[in-house]
């Protein structure tokens, strides 16, 4: 069955196909101690490639380590209803961005309310668009410090030990902000509708489609705080650079398709871990559902952690908490040697020869083609 892929999806497929092969070039490495050598192939560094995200996560986490405060951190999740997720699928850049903005504004607004926390908080938000079975399921994971700077800037306001903000209040404001702005996008003609939701181009049909979710409770989930900064970093390392499926979840690939592990949230205990087998074409289709639009940032920071105010806000927060800032917070260190040690003696491997990436051969010129001057 033919499948039409976008240019962005084609680039992702090509990058993953050629990742760590001779097509992208390679180096010959030798051990300084015993002389053992090996060939190391270059990575594609595509953010959708399961093999390339570990190194990217380590680099990103090294920068985030200096931002952590000595307080408890909460995990908050904002999820879109299925009816809205259908619209998001055909309008990824617009609706995913709206999801970020509505969720972050909800957190900052409720936290600043004196009836709740009465403080300015910081938020690190990460977009995930998949469920465990790689179906389309857009939601935002947030890491939030358990407290914030008082609105006057004179003190640090701590949250309760196991409670940050009321999830029902968060859900109601999130629903109102999101639907109001989604309707504004529709009224300005910026949304597109295809396939099974093509009928939503009619305004009455669009309003009827959203009527079902206007009174339904929108899911906002909040976990108890992590046990220390190390646990926060361990969590971030699993979530920030995750793709729709990792190599660890893959079980088999044969003539019957692809088998992989997934989590069935309708089950409890040991039965929650299940195995799914999909035809190869269906597996690839589901994976490519989650290719993000070009240039779209899926990790964002808000409040105290927003880029323009992060340095000053964190300095004030540490002053109010009476803690010392880590040394050289903004001084990038020397990059670690990411190459694995020698498998024979554990010595350091150095590059002794480099091979450039392969270039695709070009076909002979068309005999009927002419240049700009009209010469054959």
Tell me what the mean pLDDT of segment 133-154 comes to. Answer: 92
Per-residue pLDDT for 242 more than 60? yes
pLDDT given at position 3: 60
Nearest Cα neighbor of 338 from 39, 75, 117, 58 is 58
Per-residue pLDDT for 133 more than 80? yes
Nearest Cα neighbor of 129 from 86, 178, 185, 184 is 86
Nearest Cα neighbor of 122 from 141, 147, 139, 140 is 147
Cα distance between residue 104 and residue 303, in whole Å: 9
Q: What six digits make up the tokens of 35?
A: 């002389």
Please, which pLDDT band fits residue 366 given cuts at 50, 70 and 90?
low
Cα distance between residue 92 and residue 98, in whole Å: 10
What are 53-85's pLDDT values in tens digits?
776 777 777 777 778 888 888 999 999 999 999
Is 142:124 a contact under the CB 8 Å cutoff? Answer: yes
**pTM: predicted TM-score of the whole model, two decimal places:** 0.84
What is the three-class DSSP state of 266?
coil
Q: CB under 8 Å to 364, separation ≥6 — which residues?
A: none
What is the three-class DSSP state of 355?
strand
Cα distance between residue 177 and residue 1, in whole Å: 41
Exposed e or buried b for every residue in 142-159, given b needs 16+ CB within 10 A? bbbbbbbbeeeeeebbeb
Strand partners, 303: 122
Is 208:202 a contact under the CB 8 Å cutoff? Answer: no
Nearest Cα neighbor of 221 from 175, 170, 267, 264 is 170
- Give domain limits for the chain: 25-51+339-358, 70-244+292-321, 247-288
For the chain, what is the mean pLDDT? 85
Q: CB under 8 Å to 368, separation ≥6 — which residues?
A: none
- Look-up of token digits 């990792």: 246
Cα distance between residue 159 and residue 150, in whole Å: 12
pLDDT given at position 63: 74
């Amino acid at each position: 069955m033919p499948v039409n892929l976008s240019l962005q999806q084609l680039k992702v497929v090509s990058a993953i196909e050629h990742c760590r092969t001779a097509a992208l070039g390679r180096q010959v490495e030798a051990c300084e101690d015993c002389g053992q050598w090996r060939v190391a192939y270059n990575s594609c560094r595509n953010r959708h490639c399961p093999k390339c995200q570990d190194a990217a996560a380590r680099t990103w986490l090294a920068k985030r380590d200096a931002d952590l405060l000595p307080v408890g951190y909460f995990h908050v999740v904002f999820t879109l209803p299925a009816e809205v997720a259908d619209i998001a699928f055909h309008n990824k850049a617009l609706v995913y961005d709206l999801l970020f903005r509505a969720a972050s504004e909800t957190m900052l607004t409720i936290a600043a309310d004196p009836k709740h926390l009465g403080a300015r908080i910081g938020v690190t938000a990460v977009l995930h668009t998949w469920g465990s079975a790689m179906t389309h399921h857009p939601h935002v994971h947030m890491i939030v410090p358990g407290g914030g700077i008082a609105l006057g800037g004179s003190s640090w306001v701590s949250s309760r030990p196991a409670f940050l903000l009321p999830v029902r209040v968060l859900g109601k404001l999130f629903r109102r902000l999101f639907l109001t702005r989604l309707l504004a996008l529709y009224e300005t003609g910026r949304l597109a509708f295809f396939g099974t939701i093509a009928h939503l181009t009619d305004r009455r049909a669009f309003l009827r489609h959203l009527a079902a979710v206007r009174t339904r409770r929108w899911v906002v989930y909040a976990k108890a705080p992590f046990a220390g900064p190390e646990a926060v970093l361990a969590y971030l390392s699993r979530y920030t650079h995750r793709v729709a499926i990792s190599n660890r979840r893959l079980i088999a690939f044969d003539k019957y398709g692809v088998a992989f592990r997934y989590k069935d949230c309708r089950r409890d205990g040991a039965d929650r871990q299940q195995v799914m087998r999909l035809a190869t074409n269906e597996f690839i289709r589901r994976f490519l559902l989650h290719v993000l639009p070009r240039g779209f940032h899926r990790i964002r920071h808000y409040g105290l952690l927003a880029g323009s105010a992060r340095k000053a806000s964190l300095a004030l927060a540490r002053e109010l908490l009476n803690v010392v800032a880590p040394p050289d917070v903004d001084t990038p260190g020397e990059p670690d040697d990411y190459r694995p040690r020698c498998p024979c003696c554990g010595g350091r491997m150095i590059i002794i020869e480099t091979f450039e990436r392969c270039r695709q051969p070009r076909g002979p010129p068309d005999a009927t083609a002419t240049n700009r001057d009209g010469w054959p």
